[in-house]
Amino acid sequence: MTVTNEQPTVKTGELLPAQLADSQLDHFERMVQLVTRADASSASNRFDLEYWEKRIRALVKTHELVTTQRHRVIVMLDLLERHALIRMRDGAAS
């Protein structure tokens, strides 16, 4: 079995089915938990927050998500945003 990082291609005006998003959402949730628990002083952490936000938003644009999947996306984006704000506040206080 060959594993690739290729994403399915989407033709203009067509979205991929919701079923194809579940495994990606599972992965994103694990990674968002990991990067938001990581040491806030880590230089790579800022990249991680921005990277995962972009990946999540790309999934939203390419898949026909159902309500529960959209809720999962909102929760992850909210967590990333709150973590970024806390890091900015803590950085400004130093």
Sorted by where each begins, the domain ranges of the chain are 18-36+43-93
Q: What is the pTM of this model?
A: 0.76
Q: What is the Cα–Cα distance from 93 to 83, expressed in whole angstroms?
A: 15
| pLDDT per residue as tens, the chain (94 positions) | 444 455 555 555 799 999 999 999 999 999 999 888 866 555 556 668 899 999 999 999 999 999 999 999 999 999 999 998 887 887 755 5
- Model confidence pLDDT, tens digit, residues 25-39: 999 999 999 888 866
Residues sharing a CB contact under 8 Å with residue 35, sequence separation 6 or more, in sequence order: 45, 48, 49, 52, 80, 83
Element (H, E) at 47: helix 43-62
- The tokens describing 61, both together, are 């644009």
